[in-house]
A and B are shown apart, each in its own frame.
Chain A
Amino acid sequence: MSNSARESILGSIRTHLAASPAPDVEEHQAPLKIPVSKSDPIKQFKESVESVSGHCTITTDAADVLKQILTDLKAERIAHSDNPPNAHDIFGYDVGISTAQAAIAETGTLVLDSACERHRLVSLVPPVHIAIINASSIVETLSDALTLLQKKEISPAITFITGPSRTADIELTLAIGVHGPQELYVIVDGSK
């Protein structure tokens, strides 16, 4: 059944590769790493987040900043990743709050790991997502983040988030806020 399709496909691959003249695959070197800029990764992270229409605040009093954002938003129904609403109910929430396990300075990206936190719906469904991260968990590059993720067995679901959701499917005109959140707030806790 599925086994015969598997054998058939693998067989086809092997047969066709065997028929191929010796390939001219050159020895190659991995590309030179671009020297990392000397700028402060936390500052670079904030700039990157803002460049993709996210909001970013660096603070030593994260709780206070969070409270202020929620007040300004007049948020009523708030979902937290430590106890997320179920898939049905979450559509009625105004704000989702999560942390992030790491962040990438060069792109303004949040790294969320399902093995550490139930972030999947909280950071996706409500129209506003607020993420709180420790300044010490910001890494410089995408490559650094990928290396970090491989330090343990890969979690079932890892999500990279760079700014609020968007599309350019209509005449390549940018529209912010499609299926994912329309607003992204990142609070960088400088005390950690």
Chain B
Amino acid sequence: MNHLSSETFKENARAALADVQLRGALKNATSLFGERRKEAAASLPNWEDLRTHARAIKDEVLLHLDRYLEEFVRNAESRGAAVHWARDAAEANSIVCGLATERNAHIVVKSKSMTTEETHLNDALEAAGMQVVETDLGEYIIQLANEPPSHIIAPAIHKTRQQIGELFTAELGMPPTDNVDQMTSTARAKLRDRFAAADVGISGVNFAIAETGTIVIVENEGNIRLTTSLPRTHIAVMGIEKVIPRFADLDVFLKLLPRSGTGQRLTTYQSFITGTKRASSDEGPEEMHIVLLDNGRSRMLAHPVTRQSLACIRCGACLNACPVYQQVGGHAYGSVYPGPIGAVITPQLMGIQKAAQLPYASSLCGACREVCPVKIDIPRLLLHLRGEISPRKGSWAERLAFKMWARVMTSPSLYKLSSVAGRILQRVMPISRAWTNGRDLRPIESKSFHDLWSNE
């Protein structure tokens, strides 16, 4: 699969801006998502209290993450789940591939899991000789198109129905149509027998309850239920930050997540899975495995500002609200996690050197912070990351410029001189084309306000 790289965000964005179809699709999707979220939030008079409460619960968990993880594992294991720990992506993939191979698995069905996208699990499974079938409609579409997801909750949102129709005709032999119901029926029919034939079902996890060892997964389509009920083996992959303390805490998170993500009061299905079945005659998989993934998450605990990154419940609301994402879409970020949350967790998970542009790809408008159900202060995080990157990685010209700027701004005489210099420079030098390519530039005034005040 051709992934765009985070290191070329600027070029990626430029290409995205030239893609008229993409921009149309993004405009429709983000405004619809935004309107639905807004209405859903407005329908709950205690919305702000819920946000505060959810954030408080997350803060509590993160401050004692080791304890809550151990509690979760203890309870899950006592109910029959096998728990595996993965320090990084490679280890997670190795564990999952190992489990599948040991069981002679040929077909693996998957439900949407950003965590498994993060580790590139599908590539690893295919390299190990398995057929991987994405069953979430959006994931199925991008799998057919051989593309990465462009949105955390609606992976194919960058595609128009016409493009999807053409894709289905080409890859699945569907009679040409752009009727959404027909496309959906086609996908349903094609995927039905995969569920029945699958040896292993792999899912993500929305919430892992420490108190009971339960994993909670939410969906609309039903593919998660099929993935986690039919195959003999269920493997759930989760980031270590998915833990919440108590079963009762689900109330606030199940109120916030669907409304923030899609504007729904509740998604169609919530699955609460605790360990394995009691009697062998019961329905469900014979065995259950949970893979806990670190991959850089524990590092984020070291500072309160970065720790809040781990509060994210993957609703996607910040993407829809972000003026940058609205224009360039998810692929430009070159990461499984695009948009505002992606701009802050990608450098932290993948390493700053791989994603140094992302924290700067923001006007700091704060719309993301406004819509985040767990009140992550993303602009603050962006500034924190810029503070880590600029002094070390900023171009020498930029670092020098700011050193000079500080000199000028702390000396009234230099400041006065600089405005004179600025006036001359603006006349003789081509002003930053970066500005003037699209916008006229106001000339520096011949008399500054300081000058005018002196004349009073």
Query: Which A residues are closer than 8 A to B by beta carbons?
Result: 2, 5-6, 8-10, 12-14, 16-17, 19-21, 23-26, 28, 30-32, 34, 52, 84, 87-88, 91, 106-107, 109, 114-115, 118, 120-121, 124-125, 142-143, 146-147, 149-150, 154-173, 175, 177-181
Contact = CB atoms under 8 A, between A and B. Distances in A.
Given A19-B302, A162-B265, A170-B164, 17 more contacts: A9-B87, A10-B70, A12-B298, A24-B304, A87-B196, A114-B282, A114-B283, A157-B274, A166-B220, A167-B137, A168-B154, A172-B154, A175-B181, A175-B183, A178-B137, A178-B184, A179-B221
A31 B65 contact: no
Interface string B133-147: 001111001000000
A171 B268 contact: no
A155 B212 CA distance: 10
Contacts of A91: 192-193, 196
9 contacts: A91-B196, A143-B248, A154-B247, A156-B273, A157-B273, A157-B274, A159-B225, A165-B220, A168-B154
A136 B184 CA distance: 37
A146 B255 CA distance: 13
Chain A binding surface SS class: loop
A24 B222 CA distance: 41
A91 to B, nearest CB: 6
A95 to B, nearest CB: 16
Contacts of B63: 17, 23, 25
A17 B79 contact: no
B46 interface: yes
Interface residues of B, number: 98
B294 to A, nearest CB: 5
Contacts, number: 242
Interface string B65-86: 1100110000000011000111
Nearest to A25: B59
A179 B222 contact: yes
A5 B91 contact: yes
A31 B85 contact: no
Most chain B CB atoms below 10 A, which of A84, A146, A178, A180? A178
B180 A154 contact: no
Interface stretch (B48-56, B337-345, B365-373, B442-450): B48-56
Contact of A13 (B65, B214, B254): B65
Given A12-B294, A156-B273, A169-B136, A143 B251 contact: yes
A107 B300 CA distance: 37
